[in-house]
Structure 1
């Protein structure tokens, strides 16, 4: 079993941008961080539209894969220690469940546990444009201690490919957990 200091829960929801979750898993593997993956059914549909990967390929990147319907999984308990949790990408549905404390799936339950245990929760919310309800849900998550980090590209890094854009954003997200992927071109 991996050390709690070296494991992170990774949620991939059905929002566009499944590449963010995939690259997160890849970078965490390179850093030697154990990953516990929750990939929603909607994420599996999105994957088929956005990447030339199979669900099994994504699951193979994680150390442990959890069924999103299994509310009794280890990661649904506060006694299961982790460095934190990221949801990349995070759909508005997942954001809304998390912000309201409704834990109808393992993804929202694990996020709720992360918040209640005062561990870092980073939501890479992927939606535009935003209406007031979306903004209120983001505000509520921030007030609860979560971090909302939409995947906004940094063009000062002069990306040459989509992978460059994604890796810079994932690197900045993992910076929030004290992890350096080496993919972030630092300002200054």
Structure 2
């Protein structure tokens, strides 16, 4: 599997703008994306972005490729039960995966090894192959069940990165808040990013 490959899974938690911005930034860095979107995620996209997305993977792939203006090779989309896709096998799956946003239901399924959908199976593969899995939950308040599932995943080496933007960079728009979270994801993937300066490297720091 190409070292520049990343699996991006999108589930039914609130946070469609995070997913879109993340995909945009990864494609801009010439990453090859394997995208999986749950049925609930399409409902969230319609609610938050007014974007009616097709359920069929081939049709969804066409929509996303046209939107981001990328080739078939750079962005591939799989169905939730497409068990013969590369991301379902440890011999072919990318070593890096981001679930953004990650619903608490998906979080629970991964923590307990359910693997009933391709998203859950792909995450299980990354964990068992000692790859890098980042989950971006968006829920509040968090119940003891949610917290215990996050702790279980953290102990397995999963990076739990709640969609909780900071305000010390003095955001002036919703996009600034989205970029804060996406920048942190890119940082953890080891990718250079310019959408949000790292702490101590911004203009305010150098002007003092």
CA distance in structure 1 between the partners assigned to 2:133 and 2:196 by the alignment: 20
Q: Which blocks of at least 5 consecutive residues in structure 1 are unaligned? A: none
Counterparts of 1:165-176 in structure 2, within 5 Å, are 165-176=177-188
CA distance in structure 1 between the partners assigned to 2:37 and 2:129 by the alignment: 22
Preserved contact between residue 6 and residue 83 of structure 1 (Cα < 8 Å): no
SS in 2 for 1:14: coil
Aligned partner (choices 117, 120, 130) of residue 118 of structure 1: 130
CA deviations 1:87-135 (Å, max 9, x no partner) are 0000001000100000000000000000111111000011110111100
1:53 shift after superposition: 2.9
CA distance in structure 2 between the partners assigned to 1:6 and 1:186 by the alignment: 23
1:184 shift after superposition: 1.8
Which residue of structure 1 aligns with residue 206 of structure 2? Answer: none
SS in 2 for 1:187: coil
Q: How many residues align?
A: 186
TM-score (ref. length: structure 1): 0.94
**Two-structure CA RMSD over aligned residues (Å):** 1.5
Which residue of structure 2 aligns with residue 26 of structure 1? Answer: 24
Aligned partner (choices 49, 52, 59) of residue 51 of structure 1: 49
Which residue of structure 2 aligns with residue 89 of structure 1? Answer: 101
